[in-house]
Amino acid sequence: MSKEQDYQQALKLEEQQDFPGALSVYKKLIEGSDDPRYFIAYGVCLQRLSHWKQSIAPLEHGIELKPHYCEGDARLFLATAYLESGQKKKAIEQWKLVSQMEPEYPSYEHVPDEAKRMLAKYA
């Protein structure tokens, strides 16, 4: 199977609520990869299992790899990981960044609006 087929398989496993199965596929995908989608998806999947601290490194790395789109979404997930792992200050930093971002695919206005909502709640 190609990496893209594996990625689609992992997404399908997530849709079926098989998060441990999806995690094992994502783990293989990130080995030696420079595709930000794999790292971001891996981090999000870890969050679905409430593995907040473990989700931080793959999300940070995915963002460092400069995704073509969904950077705002990834930063919202990262902010949630920071908040849930007791790093509120870092979460606030992410929300501030996201609140200033231009709306983009796939979530458009939802991303900066959500960041502003979280800032109002926690800052």
Q: How many CA atoms lie within 13 A of 36 on its CB side?
A: 16
For every one of its 123 residues, what pLDDT tens digit does the chain have, with 9 covering 90 and above? 799 999 999 999 999 999 999 999 999 999 989 999 999 999 999 999 999 999 999 999 999 998 777 899 999 999 999 999 999 999 999 999 999 998 887 788 999 999 999 999 999
CATH of domain 3-122: 1.25.40.10
Q: Global pTM?
A: 0.93
Domains of the chain by residue range: 3-122
